[in-house]
Each structure stands twice: as structure tokens, then as C-alpha cells.
Amino acid sequence: MYELDQSVTWKKLKQLAEDTRDDRIADYFAQDPERFQKMSVRLGGLFLDYSKNKLSDKVLTTLEQLAEHSPLRQRRAQMFSGDIINVTEKRPVLHIALRNRGPELVVVNGRDVMPDIHASLQKLEAFSNKVRDGEWLGYSGKPIRHIINIGIGGSDLGPNMVCRALHAYKHPNLSFHFVSNVDGQHIKKVLSGLDPETSLFIVSTKTFSTQETLLNANSAKRWFMASTGGTEADIGQHFVAVSTNKDAAMEFGIKQENIFEFWAWVGGRYSLWSSIGLPIALSIGYTLFIELLEGAYEMDRHFMEAPLRQNMPVLMALIGIWNTNFLGAETQAIIPYDQALHQLPSFLQQLDMESNGKSVDSEGKPVNYATGPIIWGQTGSNGQHAFFQLLHQGTRFVPIDFIASLPDDKETEEHQFALLTNMLAQANAFMNGDVIEGKLDYASCPGNRPSNVILLDQLNPRNLGALIALYEHKVFVQGAIWNINSFDQWGVQLGKRLATEISRNIERKSSDYDASTQGLLEIVRQRLTVNATKAEVVTQKTKTSKKQSTD
């Protein structure tokens, strides 16, 4: 039986946290001039500097022992071999198969799934090429100019983030829009600026039953029909689906040949590598989409093969465990010093918190230690003028991941240089602080705040793929060490179920809910009744007006 917090290594780390409580990161540098070289790792176009963490050699060695004594190696091998590691849903976890660019077989239930994945990619290639080349025509014979992705969660956050991050590679004649919020104002605003004859909607929903996505998809369908006066047959030229449920997509009006498949073993937050990445392929082209996969594959091989002490995802995971479980961090800030990566913190929120926001271990027992931290952040240097005050002088202990790409555009080089120097200055200031003559006052910054710095040689598809895979594997490592299932999300399912129940019960009073919920429901019912009455009055006036004009 694996009991993490009862292990000798865990207890040793608790003692080390106490022993090093007054250590300063800056002193570690003074003691070892080669600390930067020792505590940095490069893989392809990614460079990780983790030297500015409150991390001694002894702590790092003990963290490595924690990983060795955990189920990490076993679960990593199981994931890559197609075994069932999502134990509560009895599924393998094979997003790594989606970007497998090598000769490896990936066997599920005795069958290699790679031929299916290759076939899916070929379909993605053919369709994206046709749209990008202007050969896919709408019902009126015009080429597509607007792509609207309708999805939520993993069907939105991944493609949305990547398309924005790689905007520099976008097709010049295509515009991209992402609709996720069930708030009607969201889709109303997007549709108001579109030409229905040149618009293509991608309905992305794994089961084709997600309430928010279907509500938005049906609103888009009604808008299209009302705007064009088209027929059901015209829907087929303007709506495609990414789903495992072909029957439901076809019932919606989507042609069978325009349904892009993926599989139950693809988790939503890990799905951008699958057909869910259709908007990415349409935006940057299939060739660059494959480069995105190749970057992730390079990180996969590194994760599998590199020793733990030189393994980028393992190191980041162990540092996170040290900060969370032994130094008391409750949150983790993600600060990209690159405007193109402004959606990355939101993407990583789902990846990390939906995966490791668990309080029960893989055996169904409550855990006695902290698991996933709260992930948050925004771009620098905007954050410097918003919340960095709290990070520098507040009472919260917040580790930071700084992420940036090196300049590759002569036209904006001056801006990029200013951005990077701001980032380096902040990382330095968080570590060293500013205390004059050893006296703390209102102007003092105590420093000793830990951070990682991740540099991309260039923000291109390959490096972005590697960066995303880095964080995926970091989350996996932490879940394995904490002995939790990082691949289910029963908390999300609870909210969905209750929303469906309340929606069904909206017309009647029910004692099934608490007094607060009942009271709020009554306010909603009253407004719906008023709106229905107003609509009936308008309809009746319209009928009367039409009758009088006819008479």
C-alpha cells in the first residue's frame, strides 16, 4: 500500500523544510557560482532555468528519491503502453499517441490504434487544405472566410490558445472566432460581424450532448437559416463536427463525411492534438500542425528517456511539490512575457486544476496532504502594474513561472528587448528583494520568492508543442506522486448534472433544493413568465397588424 505522507522520504522532506526555513536563495548562488549551469536544462528550442527556487542540493536529491519511491515510473510506462490508468472511468490515457511521430505501436485492447490516428490526420489534412485553398465553397458558391469554433472546456481552450499564440502563422484570408460561453451575448456578438455565406462552424463536443455547446450550435444554426433563407441541405456546407457521436451530429444536420472522429481515450483538456485541433490546422496549415505534434513528441521522448535529475517535466513537478507540500504555497502564477501567449494561463488552469484538483487518492481514500495548487496569471508586463505588488510585499507565498520567447522580429526588437529585460528584472527582484540596512519598512521588499524561467528560442509550432507537453507531463508526474487520478473530473460532471436537473424543473416548484436555490429559481421563473407574456403580446400585435393590412 502506497501511503505518501507516511513514507520516510516524505518525513525527511518535512524536516528539510524546517531546517532550511531561513535559507535565502541568493545565498545558494553565493555558495555555488555554477548553480545556474547545474540547475538549467535545454531540450530543443526550450530552456528551463530553475535555479531561482528555494532548493538546496540535498532537497533536490531527496525530491528525486520521492519520485523514485512513487508509482511514477510504473504509471509512465503504463500510459505510453496503452494500459488503463484512468481507473475510475476504466480508460487508457493516450493523448501521447495522437502526436506519436515514431515507429512505436500503441496497443489498446490488443489493437494498434496508430492506423486510426493516421487516417484521422489524413482527413484533417484534406479538409484543411481544401478550405485554406478556397476550394471549399459555401452554399452560394463563395469560399470560406470565417471559421467559428463552438465548444467549451478542452474543445475551446486548447485550440483557442494555440491559434492565438501562433497568430503570426495564420492564413491571411481567414478569420477565427471561438464561442464557448453559454451567455447569449457571446455568440450574438460574434455572429453580428459575420457573413453567413462565407462562414464555417465547427461544432466540437465529444459526446454531442454538452449543454452549452449544443445551445450555441443551435443558435448559430437558426441564425444561418434566418440570414440566408437556406435549406437543411445548405447546413452541410457550413457546419462540420468533431465528435465521437456520429449519429447525434448527423441528426443535427451535419453530413457524415464532415464529422471528424476522435476517441473516448482522449481527455478533453488533452485533446488539441486530435481532430479537436481542426481550427489550428485551418489557421496555420496542416504542415505546421504536424510540427506542433512533433514538438510535443520530442518532449514525450525526453520525458520517457531522460534521467530524473535532467528531466524537464519531472524537475518542474518536483519543484511544485516542494513549494506546495512543504513550503506552503497554495497558488502558482503563470506569467508569459509574450502577448501571443496571453491565453496560456487560462489553458493551464484547466490542465492543472481539472487534473489534480482531487482530495481522494487512486484507492478511493481521502488524502492528508495538499494536491493541485490554484493556477492563475496574465501577461507581463501588464501584471507588474496589477498584482505584482502583492507578490513582492504581500503575505502570500506565490511561486512564479516566467515564460518568454527570444526576439526574432527586427521591426519589434526594441519592444521585445524591453519586455525581456522587465522579466529578468522581476525574477531577480523576487529573489533578491530590497531591504535597506536590514530594516523592513513600507518600501522594503523581502525577496526570497521562487521562480522558474522558461525561454523559447522562438514562438513557433514546434516549440509551442513542446511547451504544452512539458506542462502536461508535469501535471502527470505530480498526480502520480500524489497517487491521484489526474484524468477524471467528477466535480465537473456534478455541475453539469445539477444544471440539467434544474433546467428540467424550472417550470415547477420543488422541495428538492435548499431555500436559497428555491428563492433564486422563483426570481428566474417570474422573469421568464414576464418575458413570455411580452413575447405573446408582440406576436398578437404582429398578427393583428398583418390581418388589418390584408383587409
540 burial level (CB within 10 Å; 0-12, 13-18, 19+): exposed
Cis peptide before 128 (omega within 30 of 0): no
Rounded to whole angstroms, the Cα distance separating 352 from 241 reads 27
Q: Within the chain, how many helices (H) and strands (E) appear?
A: 22, 15
Catalytic residue among 90, 385, 410, 439: 385
496 labelled catalytic:
yes
Rounded to whole angstroms, the Cα distance separating 176 from 167 reads 10
Beta carbons of 367 and 360 less than 8 angstroms apart: yes
54 labelled catalytic:
no
Can you say whether the dihedral through the CA atoms of 25, 29, 35, 40 is positive or negative?
positive
Rounded to whole angstroms, the Cα distance separating 228 from 486 reads 45
Catalytic residue among 123, 130, 342, 496: 496
Extract the C-alpha cell encoding 326: 512543504
Residue 144 to residues 122, 177, 186, Cα–Cα distance (Å)? 21, 13, 22
354 labelled catalytic:
yes
β-strand pairing of 91-92 with 84-86: antiparallel
Rounded to whole angstroms, the Cα distance separating 207 from 188 reads 25
Where are any strands of DSSP class E within 243-363?
A: 259-260, 331-336
Neighbours of 258 (CB within 10 A): 19
Catalytic residue among 197, 298, 354, 472: 354
Extract the C-alpha cell encoding 306: 531522460
- The amino acid that residue 211 corresponds to is Q
Nearest CA to 150 out of 251, 220, 236, 253 is that of 220
Extract the C-alpha cell encoding 320: 511544485
Catalytically annotated residues: 354, 385, 496
